[in-house]
Amino acid sequence: MENSSSFPALSLSGFSFSPQQRALLFALVLLWYVVILVGNFGIIFIVALDKSMHAPMYIFLCNLCVNALYGTLGFYPKFLADLVRLVPVSYGACMLQGFVIHSSTCGDFSILTLMAYDRYVAICRPLVYHVIMTKTRVWLLVLASWLVPLTAMFMNTATLLGRALCGSTIRRIYCVNWMVTSLTCAPPPGNVAVSYFNMLFYFGHFVFVLYTYLYLVRTCVASRESTRRFLHTCVPHLASLCTYSCSTLLDLLYMRFGSANISQHLSNFFAIEFLLVPPVLNPLIYGLKLSKIRRAARRLLRAAGGARKAADSGED
């Protein structure tokens, strides 16, 4: 066992890449991160500019994109820097990265829960939709969807702060609170309790969203108009929920029960799948499926093209 220390420098053992692999990974990951930034900023920009989309569904969608940008900011810049030059990470920086990534994961479930509730009110109680989803209530729900996951993960992180560690190697390519907990000389009971409470709490979010969509499916079967609205607005939310839930569950199950004999590269993929797929897939799903966003994007592209032609003709 390594000598115990309250605040050692921590090393990430997942970077088992050759120099050639690092160069290729750097180029691919940088390109992928640019796609994430362009896709999510694009959705936010389109919704912000088009006043007809200043409605609860699109406000929640913008928050989903902002949360994706927040979560990926906690991973990609440091990962790219580590591919260039891997150095030990300080205890505080490691805890901060774990906090950002975990709170972003919880935030996604909170926002997807709001989106499911919004669709339930819109389809099952359309006559009182604007009475229930008032501007004040929408912004309170948005505030709660940020404060609750941030508070939950702050409590999780706070129970680890100041704990002496008897190890310094995290078998990942980024910091994870659960892995830090496994390095403590005596796992803090408070952290274990808070961790399982958070998992149960957000599993409850998942059950609520799943039940809501099953209820919507049953309700919409009886009405062609309701079915059309469900396919038009709910399918993107459902696809987003399934993608994110499967990605997160895969990482969670592997982290808790995965075999130590699995290859490091496959382990790395399991660890970052929820940071790779959903942040890119969500803007594509909503951009392709929601007609208002498609039309607004076309208008912006035409306007940009017209402005460029006018500028070119002015120069001539």
Cα(60)–Cα(63) distance, integer angstroms? 5
Residue ranges in the chain modelled with pLDDT below 50? 1-5
Q: Within 13 A of 219's CA, how many CA atoms are on the CB side?
A: 19
Reference 38, options 286, 283, 304; nearest CA is 283
Q: Quote the radius of gyration of the chain (alpha carbons, Å).
A: 22
Reference 182, options 194, 173, 190, 192; nearest CA is 192
Cα(41)–Cα(263) distance, integer angstroms? 35
Amino acid 2: pLDDT: 43
Question: Which CATH fold topology does 11-306 show?
Answer: Rhopdopsin 7-helix transmembrane proteins (1.20.1070)
Amino acid 91: pLDDT: 85
Q: Which residues of 262-282 are buried (b: 16+ CB within 10 A; e: fewer)?
A: eeeeebbebbbbbbbebbbbb
Task: To the nearest 10°, report the CA torsion of 116, 122, 125, 129.
Answer: 110
DSSP state of 171: S
Do residues 273 and 251 make contact, with C-beta atoms less than 8 angstroms apart? yes
Amino acid 4: pLDDT: 45
**First-to-final CA distance of the chain:** 75
Amino acid 178: pLDDT: 80
